């Protein structure tokens, strides 16, 4: 009786759809379990196994009996390693006390819950990752999209940010490199947004989960801009960089008072991150980085391959992304992106995410994650080409 369940869930949850990415991934798992051969370009997840040195550190910590609660903000060695790498490589002026260890998605959730009230407005680039809008709504606040376009390669125009600000604007979420567009925002744009937000008393939530997956251009941490640290909540994590999606391990870097506030929520939710993964996270950050670099090299090859193949498909247009592992092509078929994704899955046996899941500006596009093998990219692109030709 689905009606009964819907009637009982909170008003907060009513009207918030399931995650567009996770929903399709669940569906693909089900179809594969039924014996169907689906090429999945849906989930933003590296197909590599976590590097051996990281797995070994985890096994060692398990065998050493490190299986109990840890301090809620994370083990000191990991907070120190995160602060060390963030200040050394990203220029974020932080100390271990500025770090809270928490799964990255959870970090975004805790920040929304900890900082947003009903009536607050939150600026988001359009298109943007599927869960920002949902999380903002779950916190009772209102998402306000700042349009970006494929013609501008999805760069955020700071003037549009200024125009979207009202007396209710409390926060702006920035995600560079971007999911779903792969855009690496240029320094000028990020610096201008940081300044506008500081001037207007708007907190910046900078989601830098794809920070290491950059092919051209450079990643800038917003908290590293002059005077920006006090106003910026940086989130990142290990999932994409070290092929550790299943580990659920990330962090927030923020001023100490913010870390304390978010930690208060953590103490009432997950208590702490899984204990035995935390020493492995130290190994990931401070151990050899060759595996990380070679995975990024592979992603670059796959991007180039996927771009070559997409350019041969009539009716698709795609700008070259500088980072992350997504293509976000525009299509000319006169159907919605949800219908298109449905047809590609059911008729073409290839899974993509409808562009509309990422915001109104995503309509007319679909997202394709190329974090899969070259063989599967070739096979999947062939299926897309044939399916679109039959439309």
List of residues contacting ligand GLU (CB under 6 A):
19, 21-22, 43-44, 105, 129-131, 179
Cβ at position 11, least distance to ligand GLU in Å: 24
Residue 367 beta carbon to ligand GLU: minimum distance, rounded to whole angstroms: 8
Q: Is 139 left (phi over 0), alpha (psi -120 to 50) or beta?
A: alpha
Cα separation, 153 vs 168, whole angstroms: 29
DSSP 48: S
Residue 335, helix vs strand vs coil: coil
**In the complex, what is the shortest distance from the CB of residue 23 to ligand GLU, in angstroms, rounded to a whole number?**
10
Q: Which is nearer to ligand GLU, 129 or 242 (CB)?
A: 129
Select 40 or 194, whichever has its Cβ closest to ligand GLU.
Answer: 40
d(CA 100, CA 272): 10
Number of Cβ within 10 Å of residue 33's Cβ equals 8
Q: Which residue, 177 or 279, is less far from ligand GLU as judged by CB? A: 177
Across the strands, what pairs with 123?
A: 144, 172
Residue 215 or 358 having the CB closest to ligand GLU? 358
Closer Cβ to ligand GLU, 21 or 98, answer by number: 21
Candidates 237, 144, 156, 150; CA nearest to 189 is 156
Nearest to 100 by CA among 126, 76, 116, 118: 76
Residue nearest to ligand GLU according to CB distances in the complex? 44
What is the distance of C-alpha 70 from the center of its chain? Answer: 26
Cβ-contact 51, 291 below 8 angstroms: yes
Closer to ligand GLU at the Cβ: 130 or 249?
130
Contact criterion met (CB below 8 Å) for 270 and 107: no
Name the minimum Å distance from CB 368 to ligand GLU.
11
The least CB distance from residue 194 to ligand GLU, in Å, is 24
Give dist(CA 80, CA 212) in Å, integer: 20
Q: Whose Cβ is closer to ligand GLU: residue 78's or residue 135's?
A: 135
Least CB distance from residue 323 to ligand GLU, whole Å?
A: 14
In whole angstroms, the minimum distance from the beta carbon of 295 to ligand GLU comes to 16
């Amino acid at each position: 009786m689905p009606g009964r369940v819907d009637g009982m869930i909170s008003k907060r949850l009513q009207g918030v759809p399931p995650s567009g990415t996770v929903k399709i991934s669940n569906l693909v798992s089900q179809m594969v379990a039924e014996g169907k051969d689906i090429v999945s370009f849906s989930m933003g997840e590296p197909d590599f196994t976590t590097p051996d040195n990281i797995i070994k550190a985890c096994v060692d910590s398990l065998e050493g009996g490190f299986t109990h609660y840890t301090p809620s903000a994370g083990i000191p060695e990991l907070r120190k390693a995160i602060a060390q790498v963030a200040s050394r490589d990203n220029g974020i002026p932080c100390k271990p006390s500025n770090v809270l260890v928490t799964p990255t998605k959870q970090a975004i959730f805790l920040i929304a819950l900890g900082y947003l009230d009903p009536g607050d407005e939150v600026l988001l680039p359009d298109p943007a990752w599927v869960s920002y809008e949902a999380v903002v709504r779950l916190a009772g606040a209102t998402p306000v999209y700042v349009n970006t376009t494929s013609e501008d390669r999805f760069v955020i125009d700071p003037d549009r940010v200024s125009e979207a600000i009202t007396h209710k604007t409390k926060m702006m979420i920035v995600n560079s490199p971007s999911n779903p567009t792969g855009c690496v925002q240029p320094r000028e744009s990020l610096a201008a947004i940081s300044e506008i937000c500081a001037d207007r008393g708007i907190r910046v939530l900078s989601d830098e989960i794809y920070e290491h997956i950059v092919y051209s251009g450079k990643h800038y941490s917003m908290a590293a801009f002059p005077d920006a640290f006090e106003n910026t909540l940086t989130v990142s994590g290990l999932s994409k960089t070290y092929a550790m999606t299943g580990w659920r391990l990330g962090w927030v870097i923020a001023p100490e008072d913010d870390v304390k506030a978010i930690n208060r929520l953590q103490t009432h939710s997950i208590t702490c991150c899984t204990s035995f993964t935390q020493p492995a996270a130290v190994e990931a950050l401070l151990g050899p980085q060759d595996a990380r670099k070679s995975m990024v090299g592979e992603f670059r090859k796959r991007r180039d391959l996927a771009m070559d193949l997409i350019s041969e498909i009539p009716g698709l247009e795609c700008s070259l992304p500088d980072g992350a592992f997504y293509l976000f092509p525009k299509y000319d078929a006169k159907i919605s992106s949800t219908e298109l994704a449905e047809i590609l899955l059911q008729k073409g046996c290839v899974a993509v995410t409808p562009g509309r899941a990422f915001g109104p500006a995503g309509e007319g596009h679909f997202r394709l994650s190329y974090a899969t093998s070259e063989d599967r990219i070739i096979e999947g692109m062939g299926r897309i080409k044939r399916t679109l030709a039959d439309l």
